[in-house]
Structure 1
Amino acid sequence: MAKLVTWNPDGVAQWAAEAPTEGAVLVHSLRGFLDAGKAGAIVAEHLRTFETINLATFDIDALLDYRSRRPEMTFSVNEWTGYDEPYLDLDMVRDGSGTPFLLLHGFEPDVKWERYIRAVREIVDRLGVGLTLGTHGIPMASPHTRPISTTVHGTRQDLMPDAPSLFGTVTVPASAQNLMEYRFGQWGLAAINVAVHVPHYLAQSAYPQAAQRAIKGLEDISGLELKPAELDEAAARAQEEIDRQMSESEEIQALVGVLEEQYDAFVQSRGEGIPVEGGLPSADELGAEFEKFLAQQRWDQPPNA
């Protein structure tokens, strides 16, 4: 069987020289499945602007179904001039204070999930990772005019914020990311995911505000300095575009108004300890929203499309 991971000896040596003596952090955010507002993709692109050193590369040919998720190519006049080449890499990154952590980024595997997850576990064991963190966006019936909330879930209750959950029990399509959390829990490993709630009407667009909220969640759990303020300019541009579209559409204004009323009623009722009827969607409605988002999603879009 061909090896799934190829290690970079120089990068591994650098990690060995600088890695924390205990409790190293691995952050993962992959392109491919559920990522409303491209929140996770923007986080990964943001972290790659830090100083990085490659440690390992996955054999993407063994993990990707090219026929169901075709990478984009660029044709100019009479020749092919570009290819959005699939990859799945493990890098060492230094945060704002110089603390090294690991970043797993690239294309989510389409096939051989269990083999991929075992490979990530081997990385965790080999490199002394004490905490694995992931993040992505999920579509929610919430307005962009209210604070962005999150659902934090994982295998260690003591590492998660003490906040009420919006979810009861809901069945949604699986992903490699969520299956990895599940397997890590079975193996007794610490794995936490920050799911950012993105207004469903913005789910198909890049929404840097959601990425900033995700980064703040990662910082709170890990103690890393990940510089979410560096996305302020992109967030301001996105807000200007949202404001423009709202000003030109009474339908959007009405939708946002209804969502604001539902959101405010939900928050007030929850704060007063009153059982909430209506308001935010039920588990069945959330599942249907996921399915609708997945049906509309284009897997081959780059993160900032």
Structure 2
Amino acid sequence: MSDLNWTHRPVLRRPVMVAAFGGWNDAGDAATAAVEFIRARFEPTRIASIELEEFLDFTETRPTVRLVESNSREVDWPETTVSAAEIPGADNDLVIVQGPEPALRWKRYCATVLDIAAQLDVARVITLGALLADVPHSRPVHLTGLASDGEQLDRLGFTPTSYEGPTGITGVLNHAAGRAGLDTVSIWASVPHYVAAAPNPKAALALIRAFEGAAGVAVDAGELEEAAEDYERQVSAAVASDPEVRAFVERLESAMDEVAEDDGEPNLPSADTIASDFQRFLRQQRGDD
């Protein structure tokens, strides 16, 4: 039995593939929110799916059950969906890959995604991700990236990443695509540690704007711009109501401003300090302390 199930194989114009995965690669749900917003704007057609029976631990990522009739239930199994959209006025069409991060057999999973890319003659693979970082919510979202073409990275204006350490399926897929000879771009948004649990539309918007440049596709993101502004206002109000939390956010702001001016490494408080301080603040707001 094949892991890949095709609905149909459309003929596309030099398609660009964009992929995002929930879980470890998706701080603040920013990457998946960005892809979901792109899907909503272009209304793509579902063309394939990857069965995840061999790739997930269903005790960790569980199927869901729903009522379809008064006495009938349906089980919805996690899957990777593949959809395609024709983009009017653009040079490239779009292939969208989205699903939970697989827990098992990553090499086989990536080979399946690259099989899709090969069968659709994909010209470029763009992966979106988001990571927790020592950054303030009140400054422009910091983006880092990798590209198979270094000049392209410069044109897009991303900070080249020098990260070494554990990686997720986003990094593995991007690496595999590059080894397969595909043009690749990997875009990562930094999400503040102290609001890690909240969906972050500001980071999602930054990923979409970066995606536009990498894919050559314009996305009407007016609704998301409003959500990003509301997010910043709400977090700022919560921060302003606690002097200690406000103080460490101001330290983050100063450090980021220092980097912008001097291109140096800021002296940031640790992520653990930021997270524990803000969690204490939230407990106080709930009256737990």
Q: TM-score, normalised by structure 1?
A: 0.78
Given candidates 160, 163, 170, the residue that maps to 2:164 is: 170
Identify the residue that residue 213 of structure 1 maps to in structure 2.
206
Taking the aligned partners of 1:201 and 1:47, their CA distance within structure 2 comes to 27
Structure with more contact order per residue of length (Cα contacts < 8 Å, sep ≥ 6): 1
Given candidates 116, 123, 139, the residue that maps to 1:146 is: 139
Find out whether 1:34 has 2:25 as its counterpart. yes
Between 101-110 and 183-192, the greater mean CA deviation after superposition: 183-192
- What code does the residue aligned with 2:267 have? G
Given candidates 57, 81, 89, the residue that maps to 1:89 is: 81
Identify the residue that residue 47 of structure 1 maps to in structure 2.
38
Identify the residue that residue 244 of structure 1 maps to in structure 2.
237
The secondary structure found in structure 2 opposite 1:62 is coil
Taking the aligned partners of 1:243 and 1:74, their CA distance within structure 2 comes to 38
Note the alpha carbon deviations across 1:61-115, whole angstroms, 9 max, x for none.
222111233356689xxx9989774121100124475763100012221111111
The secondary structure found in structure 2 opposite 1:160 is helix
Given candidates 255, 279, 298, the residue that maps to 2:267 is: 279
Identify the residue that residue 191 of structure 1 maps to in structure 2.
184
Alignment of 1:1-305 (within 5 A): 2-9=1-8, 12=9, 15-16=10-11, 19-20=12-13, 22=14, 24-49=15-40, 50-70=42-62, 85-95=77-87, 97=89, 100-161=93-154, 163=157, 165=159, 167-171=161-165, 173-270=166-263, 276=264, 278-279=266-267
The secondary structure found in structure 1 opposite 2:137 is coil
Taking the aligned partners of 2:77 and 2:89, their CA distance within structure 1 comes to 32
In the TM superposition, what is the alpha-carbon distance from 1:159 to its structure 2 partner?
A: 2.5
Over aligned residues, Cα RMSD in angstroms? Answer: 3.0
Aligned residue pair count: 270
Taking the aligned partners of 2:114 and 2:143, their CA distance within structure 1 comes to 26
Note the alpha carbon deviations across 1:176-229, whole angstroms, 9 max, x for none.
221111122222221211101112212221110111100011111111112232
CA contact (8 A) 2:138 2:236 kept: no
Taking the aligned partners of 1:84 and 1:206, their CA distance within structure 2 comes to 24
CA contact (8 A) 2:153 2:160 kept: no
Q: TM-score, normalised by structure 2?
A: 0.82
Note the residue ranges of structure 1 that are not aligned, 5 or more in a row. Answer: 271-275, 297-305
CA contact (8 A) 1:155 1:192 kept: yes
The secondary structure found in structure 2 opposite 1:215 is helix
CA contact (8 A) 2:81 2:98 kept: yes
Taking the aligned partners of 2:74 and 2:132, their CA distance within structure 1 comes to 32
Note the residue ranges of structure 2 that are not aligned, 5 or more in a row. Answer: 280-289
Identity of matched residues, %: 24
Taking the aligned partners of 1:229 and 1:96, their CA distance within structure 2 comes to 19
